[in-house]
Amino acid sequence: MRPAPPRTPHFLRFIVTGAVVGFLAGAIVSLVGDSATDYSAGSQIAFFGVMLGGIGALLAGLVAVLLERRR
């Protein structure tokens, strides 16, 4: 009987999921918060979405690394 291969997290799935969740959170923050008169709603969604999407991707990557090192 062969030993089972070690289970490791799929880093790309973690990172993409974190980026999508972060983008959605940024979009919600921009829609719920006070609107700036200088920028359109689309610009605010893009700005906060990209910002929080990057942070979400970094945090999800960190979680994946920590899960892998734990094994």
The tokens describing 13, both together, are 């799935």
Contact 25, 66 (CB under 8 A): no
If one counts the domains in the chain, the total is 1
Query: Per the confidence metrics, is the pTM higher than 0.85?
Result: no
The answer as to whether 25 is a domain residue is yes
The answer as to whether 55 is a domain residue is yes
The answer as to whether 5 is a domain residue is no
Going residue by residue through the chain, which has 71 residues, state the pLDDT in tens, using 9 for 90 and above. 787 776 788 899 999 999 999 999 999 998 888 877 788 888 999 999 999 999 999 999 999 999 888 76
The answer as to whether 48 is a domain residue is yes
The answer as to whether 6 is a domain residue is no
For residue 49, what are the domain limits? 11-70
The answer as to whether 2 is a domain residue is no
